[in-house]
Amino acid sequence: MKKIILSLSLFAFSCHLFSQEDAWVYLADKENETTFIANPLTMLTQKALDRKARHGVSIDARDVPVNEDYVTAIKNADGISVLAKSKWFNAVHVRGEKTAIENLFINQNNLIEPQRTFISKIVFADRSQGALEKSTNEKRRYKFETILTDYNYGNANQNNQIKMINGDVLHQTGFTGEGITVAIMDGGFPNVNTMSSFEALRNNGRLLDDYDFVNRDEDVYTNTSTNHGTLVLSAMAGYIDTATKNYVGTAPNASYYLFITEDNNDENPVEESYWVEAAERADSLGVDIINTSLGYDDFDPGTKYDYEPSDMDGQTAYITKGANIAFEKGMLLVTSAGNAWGASVGAPADSPNVLTIGAVDSNGDYAMFSSIGTTYQPTIKPDVVAQGASSYLINEFDNIITNSGTSFSAPILAGGISCLWQAYPSLTNSEIMDLVRESASQYNNPDFYLGYGIPDLEKALSNIYALDTTNASINDKITLYPNPMNARLFVSLPTDDFATLNLFDVSGKKINTYQVSNENNWINTSELAKGLYVVRLETVNGIDTFRLIKE
């Protein structure tokens, strides 16, 4: 009998929920736009301003906060709950009965002083309900895709997921993500604050902050029903080095923000609004990369919020429109393609401004669960792939496990890209995306299953160096050229100076030692294999280190 009562209660609760509608209320203007833009530190951190300046991103009205008087007026309206707000869209996400939401628009002149129109339009999440002022689905969801320095990376199988993209080469070259900031949008991060696998992350001050946008608090470690965020973070930042087990994530020295935007209890468009809100905060904090292992196109049964396949066009879904703005703001978005077993990618992975990551197995073959691209997307999707079948991860109990999904191929690659961007932080998000695609295994013959293929981050790094027209030297009195080198490497030293040149491969193994001077100013590099090399040049004034490419 108890079970029947529980079922009836749930039915009654569901009926109550279904009487509620979700909608986006767009506001007419913002307060003191000019003053805010003239004083950007009132709304953005210095790190955010530095990142924007580095990439030529201007500050505009979208950075200005929403008018809180408008938000308060909507909160005080009868039958309305405000669940989220967005400065980029100048909008709030509300829930209430349809008539209550419609009354917001009808009675807005009575909601705020001085009396005026402050709502420009209202768009219902159930688009069959229409819109006020301006009109503004094969279906499935993939909330989480859990389907089935010299580092010791662990056993050969575990090592494969980083070797596949040559992320280990970047580590050996000295690029481990340091200086790059990553925001992870997910559903929960249990025990990250206590696990030994993240002790180095915490002790070195690289776990910057966290926030739960669903429950509106700063507890992302206990008030959660999923360990998914912990697994995702481990792919990038996990580190274990003991006598019995070893693990290294793809960006162990990057810095991280942890944001909960996914409500594990149901699937509702408000989660799109939580994500946009988190992306706005990430922008204001100066985040470089957003990793998202979430996707939306199919919501809870009984609702009418589902997107149609044709809506996956890179510009329709609310979360996709938010991702497009995040890209304009200079951030790089690395997003899971989804686990749809032959169906197409969801939002925001449909955006051309998102680097969408599919999944392969340890052999580099297409993983059957990985979502595919369609002609609805304006660009090839997925963009690229990484190992998502039987990925090695660390769970909330500090155990190394395997799990599958594009949820994990995306952070594996996001970490690798963090290391790549560290090498040349002046590059834009668009340039980094192009380099990753161009390095991939089937760049000249992409398809809807693997996109451009498996990236080669060593090749991408080489391409960056090849594009760099500056001298290799970090000392303005010493020059090594050409870079890339071919048969000879020339060394230009200060007058009457001489030096000892030590040549290493990227693993740190010394290849040879040479004595050079302005009279004996070159070494023979014709027998070197193609790839990256490190030169240590010792002079009476100290030691300089150079990274060079052999073509």
Taking the C-alpha atoms of residue 528 and residue 448, their distance in angstroms, rounded to an integer, is 38
Task: List all residues 6 or more positions away from 82 whose beta carbon is below 8 Å from its beta carbon.
Answer: 71, 74, 75, 92, 93, 94
Catalytic-residue membership of 186: yes
Do the beta carbons of residue 471 and residue 181 sit within 8 Å?
Answer: no
State both tokens at 381.
Answer: 């999707």
Q: Which of 316, 230, 305 is nearest to 270 (CA)?
A: 305
C-alpha 197: how far from chain center: 21
Helix (H, G, I), strand (E, B) or coil at 194: coil
DSSP string of 281-293, one letter each residue: HHHHHT--EEEE-
Q: What are phi and psi of 187, to 5 degrees?
A: -115, -10
Helix (H, G, I), strand (E, B) or coil at 24: strand
Catalytic-residue membership of 55: no
C-alpha 279: how far from chain center: 10
Catalytic-residue membership of 228: yes
State both tokens at 429.
Answer: 């998000």
Q: Where are the alpha helices (DSSP H) in 173-249?
A: 199-203, 228-237
Do the beta carbons of residue 287 and residue 182 sit within 8 Å?
Answer: yes
**Active-site residue among 186, 210, 283, 306?**
186
State the number of CA atoms in the 13 A half-sphere of 349 facing the CB: 36
State both tokens at 160.
Answer: 């494969």
State the number of CA atoms in the 13 A half-sphere of 248 facing the CB: 24
**Active-site residue among 371, 407, 439, 441?**
407
**Active-site residue among 55, 93, 171, 228?**
228
95, containing H or E segment? strand 91-96
Q: Which of 458, 461, 473, 405 is nearest to 235 (CA)?
A: 405
The neighbouring-strand residues paired with 488 are: 524
Q: Which amino acid is at 340?
A: A
**Residue 243 per-residue DSSP state:** S
Task: Tell me the torsion sign for CA atoms 395, 197, 333, 150.
Answer: negative
Do the beta carbons of residue 493 and residue 464 sit within 8 Å?
Answer: no
How buried is 478 (Cβ within 10 angstroms: 0-12 exposed, 13-18 middle, 19+ buried)? buried
| Residues catalogued as catalytic | 186, 228, 407
